[in-house]
Amino acid sequence: MNALCSVIKFENLQELKRLCHWGPIIALGVIATCSTVAMIDSVLWYWPLHTTGGSVNFIMLINWTVMILYNYFNAMFVGPGFVPLGWKPENSQDIMYLQYCKVCQAYKAPRSHHCRKCNRCVMKMDHHCPWINNCCGYQNHASFTLFLLLAPLGCIHAAFIFVMTMYTQLYNRLSFGWNTVKIDMSAARRKPLPMVPFGLAAFAATLFALGLALGTTIAVGMLFFIQMKIILRNKTSIESWIEEKAKDRIQYYQLDEVFVFPYDMGSRWENFKQVFTWSGVPEGDGLEWPIREGCHQYSLTIEQLKQKADKRVRSVRYKVIEDYSGACCPLNRGVKTFFTSPCTEEPRIQLRRGEFVLATRGLRYWLYGDKILDDSFMEGVSRIRGWFPRNCVEKCPCDTETDSTPEGKKKNR
C-alpha cells in the first residue's frame, strides 16, 4: 500500500501532461497501430493460437509491446535528472571554471546544459527529444537507448507478420495474366479456412501498418546506431559538438594546445558501463564524473568558457531594418527565405525596426543571435535569442572585424 501511495502522487499525475504533445501522440499511435494489427493478423489469418508456434508468436508480440512501452514511459516520466536549483560546487574556487545559469540561479555542473523546453539545467544532457517530450540525459539515457533498440526489433517482427498475412491470404486471388506461369502456393494454404475473411479493410490496415513498421525500423534504427556510437565514446550529442568546435577553434587560431575529451575511459566496455548497469540505475550522482588520466574535472567546462569567449569575439552586430513577426516560415520575406527555414525546434524571435541583434551563427538566408535588450524590458528576461531572416537586418557600419582573440592574436598561417 505504501508503495502504491509513493507512485500515485500529485506530482506524478502532473507529469501525465507530457502525453499531450504531438511527439508522444504520434509515437504511441505508431506503437499501438503496429502491435494491434500484428496481433489481429496473427490470430485471425496467419498463425492461430491453437498451434504451438502461434502461441509462441503471440507471446513474443506481447513481450515486444510491453518492453517497448516500459522503456518509453521510463524515459519519459523518470526524466533526465536536473541540477538542483541554486547548486554550486563545494570548493568555492571551482566557480571560476563554471558557467552560471540565471534561470536556475545555479552554476552549471560539468556535462550539464540548460534546456529551454524543460526550463531547467539537465544533468549530462544529450538532447531534448520531442518523441518523449522530455530531455534525454543522465537518468534516462539507458532507457531511451533501449527503446531505440527494441522499437525496430519489434517492428521487424511485426513487418514479417504483415507480409506473411498478405501472402497467405491473397495467393489464390492474384492473377498475373499468364496462363503458362504457375506458382506453387500450397505451403501458404491454411486449413480450415479462417472464420473471418481477409477483406479490403483488413488488407488496407495491414498494408498501412507495414509502411509504419518499415519506416520506424529505418528511422529509429538509425537513431539507435547514432546513440550507440556516442555512448561507446562516453559522450553525448552536445559534447560531440563541443569537441568538434574545440578542434575548429584550435585550428583557426593555430594554438599550441590539444583538447582531450576527459570522460572517455579509453575502453568501449568501460564507456558502455557508464550508461548501462545491471540495476538500471546509472552510476554516480550526475554532478561529478570519473575522468581519464591526465585530465581535469573541469576540462570540458574550461573549453566551453573558451568557446563562449571566442563566440563573443566573432559575434556581429546587426540593426533591424524590417519588422519580422517571428513566423517559422514567413511568406512575406521571399520564396528562398520561406523554403530555407531552419529545420530545428529552436525559436524564432520577433523583431521591430530599429532594434539591434548580435548574430552568433547563420545560414545563407537566416541568422541566429541574441536581441540586445534595453531597460524597458521587465526583470527576469535574461536573453531573447533565436532565428531571424537575413533580409530583415543590416550589418552595423560601425562594427569592423577585430583581430583580438581570447588567446591573443591569431597566428599567421
Instruction: Show which residues are catalytic.
Output: 129
Which one, of 231, 245, 212, 225, lies nearest residue 282 by Cα?
Answer: 231
Enclosing H/E stretch for 368 = strand 366-371
| 384: helix, strand or coil | coil
73: number of Cβ within 10 Å:
17
In this structure, what C-alpha cell is assigned to residue 101?
A: 545559469
Residues listed for the chain: 413
Angle (CA) 131-135-138 rounded to 5° is 130
Sign of CA dihedral 249, 251, 255, 258: positive
> Would you state the cell numbers that stand for residue 382, as one nine-digit string?
535574461
Contact yes or no for 162/105 (Cβ under 8 A):
no
Distance CA(126)–CA(156), nearest Å, equals 27
- The Cα 295–Cα 96 span in angstroms is 17
